[in-house]
Amino acid sequence: MPRRIRRRIRGRFHHNCFKPCGMRKTEVDFETLTPDEIEAIRLADFEALYQEDAANEMEVSRPTFGRILNSARKKIAKALILGKAIEIQN
């Protein structure tokens, strides 16, 4: 069983779902981002922090931060390319 380590999540996200225009929510598949993944995207891409600094903010190691960020980016790319909705887990 994987360990669950509590990580520091500071971002407040007011939307929990983004979907392609012109499609009903029932017509699309979803990619779900975890709070860790959305925070990693916020720190690395929105705040433009280096991975080492962002990892310190989240209180994780730099390699762990890199894995979280790669997972988030892969899910976002998959959603954009395949026309899936992006859901943010609470």
pLDDT of residue 43: 95
Nearest CA among 38, 48, 32 for reference residue 9: 38
> Which residue pairs, CB below 8 angstroms and at least 24 apart, start in 62-66?
65/40
Work out the number of other CB atoms within 10 angstroms of the CB of residue 45: 14
Provide the pLDDT confidence category of residue 15 given band limits of 50, 70 and 90.
confident
Residue spans per domain, the chain: 25-88
Q: What CATH architecture applies to the domain 25-88?
A: Orthogonal Bundle (1.10)
Number of separate helices (H) and strands (E) present in the chain = 3, 3
Q: Which residue has the higher pLDDT, 18 or 10?
A: 18
Predicted model pTM: 0.83
73: helix, coil or strand? helix
- pLDDT tens-digit series, residues 19-60: 999 888 888 999 999 999 999 999 999 999 999 999 999 999
Q: How far apart are CA 47 and CA 69, in angstroms?
A: 14
